[in-house]
Chain A
Amino acid sequence: MAETIITTQEIWVTRREEARRAWYRFRSSTLALVGLGIVLGMAAVAILAPYIAPYPQHAGGFVDFANTFQPPSRAHLFGTDDVGRDVFTRVLFGARISLFTGFVVLSIALAIGIPLGLIAGYWTGWVSSLIMRITDVFLALPSIVLALAVAAVLKPTLTNAMIAIAFTWWPWYTRLVYGEVLSIKQEAFVEASRSMGASPWRIAFREILPNAWSPIVVKLTLDMGFVILVETGLSFLGLGAQPPTPAWGAMIAEGRIYMPANWWLATFPGLAIFLTVLGFNLLGDGLRDVFDVQIEQWRGGA
Chain B
Amino acid sequence: MQAEPLLEIRNLSIHFHTYEGRARVINGIELVIGKGESVALVGETGCGKSITAKAILGLLPPNAEVVSGRILFQGQDLLRLKEEELRRIRGRHIAMIFQDPSTALNPVFTVGEQLMDVLIYRDTRGLGRGKDGAVRRHSALRQRCLEMLQLVRIPDPEATMARYPNELSGGMRQRVLIALALLQGPELVIADEIGTALDVSIQDQILQELKELVRTQGTSVLYITHNLGVARMVSDRVYVMYAGEVVEVAPTDTLFRRQLHPYAQGLLAAVPRLTGAIGEGIEGRIPDYVAPPPACRFEPRCPYRMPICSEVRPPLVEVEAGRWVACHLYPHPRRDEA
Q: Which residues of A come within 8 Å of B, CB atoms?
A: 21, 24-25, 301-302
Q: Is the CB of A24 within 8 A of B45?
A: no
Closest to B47 in A: A302
Q: Is the CB of A302 within 8 A of B19?
A: no
Residues of B within 8 A of A25 (CB): 19
Interface of B, secondary structure class, is: loop
- Nearest CB of A to B242, in Å: 15
- 7 of the cross-chain contacts (CB-CB < 8 Å) are A21-B19, A24-B19, A25-B19, A301-B45, A302-B45, A302-B46, A302-B50
- Measured CA separation A8–B79 after assembly (Å): 50
- Nearest CB of B to A27, in Å: 10
Residues of B within 8 A of A302 (CB): 45-46, 50
Residues of A within 8 A of B46 (CB): 302
- In the complex, which residues 305-330 of chain B have their Cβ closer than 8 Å to any Cβ of chain A? none
Residues of A within 8 A of B19 (CB): 21, 24-25
Give 6 closest A-B pairs by Cβ, nearest first.
A302-B45, A24-B19, A21-B19, A302-B46, A25-B19, A302-B50
Q: Which of A21, A25, A301, A302 has the most CB of B within 10 A?
A: A302
Residues of B within 8 A of A21 (CB): 19
B residues contacting the other copy or chain, number (CB 8 A): 4
- Measured CA separation A180–B113 after assembly (Å): 31
Residues of B within 8 A of A301 (CB): 45
Residues of A within 8 A of B50 (CB): 302
Q: Which of B19, B45, B50 has the most CB of A within 10 A?
A: B19
Closest to A23 in B: B19
Q: Mark B36-57, 1 if CB is under 8 A from A, else 0.
A: 0000000001100010000000
- Measured CA separation A24–B18 after assembly (Å): 10
- Nearest CB of A to B241, in Å: 13
Closest to A20 in B: B19
- Measured CA separation A302–B19 after assembly (Å): 19
- Measured CA separation A302–B45 after assembly (Å): 5
- Measured CA separation A154–B63 after assembly (Å): 56
Q: Mark B1-33, 1 if CB is under 8 A from A, else 0.
A: 000000000000000000100000000000000
- Nearest CB of A to B230, in Å: 15
- Measured CA separation A25–B63 after assembly (Å): 12
Residues of A within 8 A of B45 (CB): 301-302
- Nearest CB of B to A294, in Å: 12
- Measured CA separation A25–B50 after assembly (Å): 24
- Measured CA separation A133–B297 after assembly (Å): 60
- Measured CA separation A21–B19 after assembly (Å): 7
- Nearest CB of B to A10, in Å: 19
- Measured CA separation A25–B18 after assembly (Å): 10
- Measured CA separation A302–B50 after assembly (Å): 9
Residues of B within 8 A of A24 (CB): 19
- In the complex, which residues 40-83 of chain B have their Cβ closer than 8 Å to any Cβ of chain A? 45-46, 50
- Measured CA separation A24–B17 after assembly (Å): 12
- Measured CA separation A198–B50 after assembly (Å): 40
- Measured CA separation A301–B45 after assembly (Å): 9
Closest to B20 in A: A21
- Measured CA separation A21–B46 after assembly (Å): 21
Closest to B44 in A: A302
Closest to A302 in B: B45
- Measured CA separation A25–B45 after assembly (Å): 24
- Nearest CB of B to A21, in Å: 6
- In the complex, which residues 198-244 of chain B have their Cβ closer than 8 Å to any Cβ of chain A? none
- Measured CA separation A24–B45 after assembly (Å): 26
- Nearest CB of B to A121, in Å: 23
- Nearest CB of A to B25, in Å: 13
- Measured CA separation A301–B100 after assembly (Å): 13
- Measured CA separation A114–B282 after assembly (Å): 48
- Nearest CB of B to A154, in Å: 46
- Measured CA separation A24–B20 after assembly (Å): 10
- Measured CA separation A24–B50 after assembly (Å): 26
- Nearest CB of B to A296, in Å: 11
- Measured CA separation A207–B50 after assembly (Å): 33
